[in-house]
């Protein structure tokens, strides 16, 4: 723990003030709900692409990916490899579809296809996903800044959250997009700077990093065996494809941006720009994890404070120093991976540069959280309040509702982040929660596209089957050992894959059976 030097604090404060001022600037243009949610369709495609990239590249990537690479290998990079295929499907089918409907909410069409229940179900899944995502990102940023400043994680979440709420509430989607353009550049440069600082501090430089990485299999993408019970190459590829398909095709964060573009062609270009930037950028964070692993292998004494901190967090507050040291000696790299990069920043990065890198981490968190707040508020306004409470809400009433809902979802994200304090891997938790919540939503949407004959009853039965399957896959590990044969046998990341397939295939099958002649 240490207090940041004054110059670093000044850099961080300047960044936060600049983000708030962006919100103030764009608040002058927010005179209607359409401007707040769509920016009147006047944003260029390149800006939207950078904005989507910045939303993808959250603090879960900035902190969780190096921690994951430090603790294991590059297996999680397969998630990024799956992005081009998901983007191709989205650009070919989803982007033109949403642009043609003109509906700002991604879920309005589900009501037209299957009824009000389908729209409400997808909205609940989306909002739960957003709370999980915002919470994990608030937790990740607090974990990093606690090591740098000594402030409590709760206090860090509160200060960061207030700044995000101010500029997101005042500036709407236009402020979100343009701040994300800046934030995308800042966090990418921050990652490059960290790689440089690790390499110049590493005895033997790049060749030594590669040597240690190869010896300990740090560059492996996972086993190519058709194994769906462990985190194999194929499990992460399938998980990545379905999650990215959900992101590009069903997630309000991204769908809403398609409406801010000047044309469908520009919206499609924005998706591809995001992919071609994100894939190499995410690789950069795996490189950081491998570099840090090699650095601390060469300097094992420097990692001891991290292991002691991780051990202390696992034990009760009354634990003795001997108990903490004994537990620390048993910890493996995957048990404290998320804490390694903040520790490197505390101990090895020169004064002045720390403020820049903290600003990069803040930008990684703020871009995704602000998107989540704006998208959640839009969905609440369109799919819940105007659908069930007050369909005739006036223009100013809609704008006021969006302001309030944006702030409320920001606060709820903070509360979720506080509840996550103490987890070992922020990336693992986010992947599991997103797989659980997103599976049913994507399955229902695909059913509506794949099977033109599937009706309301088919969809209801399919969703019930899918939800039961997801609940079983998620909680069957709690069953007693005598019922071990009833436990879900596959890897947790397969939940979204199986859940999506159950809903889409059951619904399609029911529609096919119903069409068969009875005679």
Listing DSSP states for 66-93 in one string gives: HHHHHHS-SGGGHHHHTHHHHHHHIIII
pLDDT at 3: 63
Burial of 34 (0-12, 13-18, 19+ CB in 10 A): middle
Quick one: how far is CA 151 from the chain centroid? 25
Q: Name the residue with tokens 């194929």.
A: 234
pLDDT at 293: 92
CA distance 514 to 517: 8
Asked if 448 and 454 count as a contact pair (C-beta separation under 8 A), the reply is: yes
pTM greater than 0.95 (yes/no): no
CA distance 447 to 436: 18
DSSP strands (E only) in 10-164: none
Asked if 148 and 358 count as a contact pair (C-beta separation under 8 A), the reply is: yes
Which 3 state secondary structure label does DSSP give 190?
helix
306 contacts: CB under 8 Å, gap ≥ 6: 336, 339, 340, 343
CA distance 285 to 69: 8
| Alpha helices, H only, 299-337 | 304-314, 321-330, 333-336
Quick one: how far is CA 371 from the chain centroid? 11
CA distance 371 to 176: 6
User: Which residues are paired to 261 by β-bridges?
Assistant: 43
Taking only the tens of pLDDT, the chain with its 519 residues reads: 356 778 888 888 888 888 888 777 877 766 767 777 776 677 888 888 888 888 788 766 777 788 889 988 999 899 999 999 999 999 998 888 888 877 777 788 888 888 889 888 888 888 888 888 888 888 877 877 776 777 788 888 888 888 888 888 887 778 788 888 888 888 888 889 889 988 998 888 899 999 999 999 999 998 999 888 888 999 999 999 998 988 888 888 888 888 888 888 898 999 999 999 999 999 999 999 999 999 999 988 888 888 888 888 777 777 788 888 888 888 888 888 878 887 887 788 787 788 888 888 788 778 778 888 888 998 898 888 888 888 887 778 888 898 899 899 999 988 888 887 766 555 566 666 666 666 678 888 888 877 778 888 889 999 899 888 888 888 888 888 888 888 889 888 888 888 889 999 999 998 888 766 654
Handedness of CA 4, 5, 8, 12 (dihedral sign): positive
pLDDT at 1: 38
Q: Which structure tokens are listed for 396?
A: 């100013």
CA distance 328 to 340: 14
Burial of 408 (0-12, 13-18, 19+ CB in 10 A): middle
Query: DSSP code of 261?
Result: B
């Amino acid at each position: 723990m240490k207090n940041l030097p004054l110059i670093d604090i000044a850099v961080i404060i300047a960044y936060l003030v600049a983000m708030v001022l962006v919100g103030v600037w764009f608040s002058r243009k927010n005179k209607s709900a359409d401007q707040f949610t769509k920016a009147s369709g006047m944003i260029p495609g390149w800006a939207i692409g950078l904005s989507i990239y910045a939303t993808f590249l959250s603090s879960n990537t900035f902190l969780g990916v190096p921690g994951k690479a430090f603790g294991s290998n590059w297996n999680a990079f397969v998630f990024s490899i799956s992005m081009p295929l998901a983007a191709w499907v989205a650009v070919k089918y989803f982007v033109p579809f949403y642009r043609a409907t003109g509906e700002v909410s991604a879920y309005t069409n589900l009501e037209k296809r299957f009824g009000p229940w389908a729209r409400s179900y997808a909205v609940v899944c989306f909002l739960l996903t957003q709370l999980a995502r915002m919470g994990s990102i608030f937790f990740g940023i607090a974990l990093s800044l606690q090591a740098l400043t000594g402030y409590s994680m709760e206090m860090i979440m509160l200060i960061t959250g207030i700044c995000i709420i101010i500029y997101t509430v005042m500036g709407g989607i236009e402020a979100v997009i343009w701040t994300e353009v800046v934030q995308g550049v800042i966090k990418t440069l921050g990652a490059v700077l960290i790689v440089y600082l690790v390499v110049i501090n590493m005895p033997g430089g790049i060749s030594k990093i590669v040597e240690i990485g190869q010896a300990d299999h740090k560059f492996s993408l996972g086993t190519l065996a058709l194994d769906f019970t462990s985190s194999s190459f194929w499990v992460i590829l399938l998980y990545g494809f379905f999650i990215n398909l959900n992101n590009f095709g069903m997630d309000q964060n991204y769908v809403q941006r398609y409406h801010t573009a000047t044309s469908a062609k520009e919206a499609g270009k924005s998706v591809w720009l995001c992919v071609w930037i994100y894939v190499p950028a995410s690789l950069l964070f795996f490189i950081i994890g491998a570099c840090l692993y090699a650095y601390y292998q060469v300097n094992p004494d420097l990692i001891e404070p991290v292991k002691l901190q991780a051990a202390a967090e696992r034990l009760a507050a009354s634990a003795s120093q001997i108990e903490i040291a004994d537990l620390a000696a048993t910890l493996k790299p995957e048990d404290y991976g998320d804490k390694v990069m903040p520790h490197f920043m505390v101990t090895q990065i020169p004064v002045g540069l720390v403020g820049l890198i903290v600003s990069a981490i803040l930008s990684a968190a703020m871009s995704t959280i602000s998107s989540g707040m704006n998208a959640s508020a839009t969905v609440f306004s369109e799919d819940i309040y105007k659908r069930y409470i007050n369909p005739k809400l006036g223009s100013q009433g809609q704008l006021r509702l969006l302001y309030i809902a944006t702030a409320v979802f920001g606060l709820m994200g903070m509360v979720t982040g506080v509840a996550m304090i103490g987890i070992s891997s922020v990336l693992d938790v986010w992947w599991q929660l997103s797989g659980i919540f997103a599976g049913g939503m994507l399955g229902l949407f695909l059913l509506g596209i794949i099977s033109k004959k599937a009706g309301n009853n088919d969809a209801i039965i399919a969703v019930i089957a899918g939800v039961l399957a997801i609940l079983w896959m998620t909680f069957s590990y709690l069953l007693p050992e005598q019922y071990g044969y009833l436990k879900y046998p596959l890897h947790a990341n397969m939940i979204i894959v199986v859940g999506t397939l159950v809903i889409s295939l059951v619904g399609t099958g029911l529609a096919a059976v119903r069409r068969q002649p009875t005679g």
